A and B are shown apart, each in its own frame.
Chain A
Amino acid sequence: MATETLDVGATERPVRLAMGRYFSHPGAVIGLIILVCWILVTIFAPILAPYDPNELVSRARQAPSADHWLGTDMLGRDVLSRVIYGSRISISIGFIAVLLGGVSGVILGLLAGYFAGWVDTVISRFVDALLAFPSILLALVVIAALGASIQNMMIAVGIATLPDYARLVRGTVLAIKSQPYVEAARLVGNSHLRILARHILINVNAPIVVLATLQIGSAILIGAGLSFLGLGAQPPTPEWGLMSAEGRQMLQRAWWISTFPGVAILSVVIACNLVGDGLRSALDPKMRMG
């Protein structure tokens, strides 16, 4: 009973400290608020959107008005409704791509850092080669092979962000695997898998969380860029990058079609970056000591 109380106290304090550090940054708080708002928008899209995103509700290319706050697009669909529904697609592209890239990158990094030797050599050279491509090029290679669709784009963006995790995790694992507590765990006879999961992964999760938050923003940007090029979401999907591309031809006559989806992306990506920076200063052990 007594030990249990002690344990709770010991784990609760750093969490509370980190939260205190996080909420002392006004930028981080603003970012969190924007992000939470967007997540609510994705959940309640059908309630919030005034119209069906794919229905032709009015004359084409109507300027923003009381009926259509953000105007109508080249077919007469409501831009606001499309931006609202688009959040579901664009934001999930960011999250799923980061999940894909994060999980595979973390596994590769753990294996490389923990087992060293030839495993490390093979994985590290592979990661080096991936890093030799600027990330959008890497995504282009994958899309070229798999074909243009939302699913393939998520895989492509995931692969493009994988090397960052692999490198980060490998470096951190190398630094902590010779720590006495890891050696102790090994001497007691724990399996490699258990050591990796219980003793090593748990100590690299803070930098992974920070990197992943920052990567969500860049994954959304790359995803929107690819859709803008016609290599991701396909019409009539309400995806923010694709919407900007569709409005591009009539930018002069109907600026609202292309510009509002961009404002949405900007606000989501800024929010992700603010939250990521806030988490970094809240979780970074170096700053904790300082």
Chain B
Amino acid sequence: MRRYVLGRLLQLVPVLLLVSLIVFAVMRLLPGDPALLMLSGAEGGAITPERLNELREQMGLNEPLAAQYLNFVLGALQGDLGSSIRFQVPVTELILDRFGSTFELAVAGLFLAIVIGMPLGMIAAARQGGWIDSLCMTLSYIGSSMPVYWLGLLLVLVFSFTLHWFPSAGGGSFEALILPAFTLGLLSAGVLARLIRSSMLEVATEDYMRTARAKGLFPRLIIFRHGLKNAMIPVLTMMGLQFGALLAGTVVTETVFSRPGLGRLIVDSILSKDYPLVQGAILFLAVVYLLVNLAVDLAYALLDPRIRYGN
């Protein structure tokens, strides 16, 4: 197991380097001078060549590109992602400040996705071809074809404006978390239900399932102990990817519900051309996404010895 973990961690290094290279390159390929953009974005009035040169020096833009990239990576490793133009504070500080709210939303969304999606998928698989199956699959189909923001707006319309159950906007409180979490969770629940259904149907044809049925075990016991356990492996992988989708989905959901999170921060900083902040926040989210998927891989290596010992 230790060798597997070490191997996976080592594989992460080149991917991280490439991810940082992509983020860095995209921000440097900008048509125009970042220092000039920064000056015209942050400070009004005339832009003097002296001020421009001073800022270029300060930002390290006068160095060769390779050196700039090296500085960026070394800085990032020490938690230094530069300073935001708009807020004039370190990017890392802003990110950590906002990430809590985003993480909370993503976790709540994932929780709802599991609580809703798993039973739906299992019922659909157990009653394959029945009306519950068709209903579940139709719902999950509609769910995965729906714009995230639109579902959010519908939920606000019904549960906030009409029924007055939950607030329509804001962050901080538990009530304010419910509608955004459902917005994210319902969409992922559809994907999850479909995956669990197909995974359980696949497992159902395995020899051990036939044995379990042949020796007369209760159908419920067969489904839970023998079926679900084995059907969970592909589902777990998918959950890792879904968590990434949820993190990304927060970008839109936070806008719909005016939640002060990292996604909203990224959109605002793109609109206000706050490049150090965009660069840092996107790199941060990509790294979180990679780490979550690594954790998922490790989790099922722990659950399934075949993965650990295979190649």
Q: Do A and B bind each other?
A: yes
B27 beta carbon closer than 8 Å to chain A: yes
Rounded to whole angstroms, the CA-CA distance of A109 and B116 in the bound complex is 37
B141 beta carbon closer than 8 Å to chain A: yes
A224 beta carbon closer than 8 Å to chain B: yes
A residues near B26, Cβ cutoff 8 Å? 141-142, 144-145
Rounded to whole angstroms, the CA-CA distance of A134 and B245 in the bound complex is 6
- Least CB separation from A125: chain B residue: B18
Choose among B14, B147, B156, B251 the residue that contacts A262 (Cβ–Cβ < 8 A): B147
- Least CB separation from A267: chain B residue: B145
Chain A residues bordering chain B, tally (CB within 8 A): 41
- Least CB separation from B269: chain A residue: A144
A129 beta carbon closer than 8 Å to chain B: yes
Pick from B18, B147, B266, B286 the residue with the most CB of A within 10 Å.
Answer: B147
Interface residues as binary, B250-265 with A (CB distance below 8 Å gives 1, 0 otherwise): 0110011000000000
Interface residues as binary, A255-276 with B (CB distance below 8 Å gives 1, 0 otherwise): 1001100100110011001000
Stretch at the interface among B123-131, B172-180, B270-278: B270-278
B289 beta carbon closer than 8 Å to chain A: yes
- Least CB separation from A135: chain B residue: B248
A166 beta carbon closer than 8 Å to chain B: no
A residues near B22, Cβ cutoff 8 Å? 129-130, 133, 141
Range for the number of chain B residues in contact with chain A: 35 or more
Interface residues as binary, B18-40 with A (CB distance below 8 Å gives 1, 0 otherwise): 11011100110110000000000
- Beta-carbon contacts under 8 Å, A187-238 to B: 217, 221, 224-225, 228-231
B residues near A141, Cβ cutoff 8 Å? 22-23, 26, 278, 282
B residues near A262, Cβ cutoff 8 Å? 146-147, 150, 153-154
Rounded to whole angstroms, the CA-CA distance of A238 and B29 in the bound complex is 31
A residues near B29, Cβ cutoff 8 Å? 145
A183 beta carbon closer than 8 Å to chain B: no
- Least CB separation from A270: chain B residue: B145
The answer on a CB contact under 8 Å between B30 and A145 is yes
The answer on a CB contact under 8 Å between B147 and A134 is no
B148 beta carbon closer than 8 Å to chain A: yes
The answer on a CB contact under 8 Å between B156 and A251 is yes
A residues near B249, Cβ cutoff 8 Å? 136
- Least CB separation from B21: chain A residue: A129
B residues near A229, Cβ cutoff 8 Å? 251-252, 255, 267
A49 beta carbon closer than 8 Å to chain B: no
The answer on a CB contact under 8 Å between B145 and A217 is yes
The answer on a CB contact under 8 Å between B251 and A266 is no
A residues near B141, Cβ cutoff 8 Å? 270, 273
Rounded to whole angstroms, the CA-CA distance of A251 and B255 in the bound complex is 14
Rounded to whole angstroms, the CA-CA distance of A229 and B269 in the bound complex is 12
The answer on a CB contact under 8 Å between A125 and B150 is no
The answer on a CB contact under 8 Å between B286 and A137 is yes
The answer on a CB contact under 8 Å between B248 and A134 is yes
Choose among A133, A140, A144, A228 the residue that contacts B19 (Cβ–Cβ < 8 A): A133
A101 beta carbon closer than 8 Å to chain B: no
Rounded to whole angstroms, the CA-CA distance of A141 and B278 in the bound complex is 8
Tell me the smallest distance from the CB of B142 to a CB of chain A, in Å. 7
7 example contacts (A-B, Cβ-Cβ < 8 A) are as follows A126-B18, A129-B15, A129-B21, A132-B289, A136-B251, A251-B157, A269-B145
* Across the A-B interface, the 7 shortest Cβ-Cβ residue pairs: A262-B150, A129-B18, A134-B248, A269-B145, A270-B145, A136-B248, A134-B244
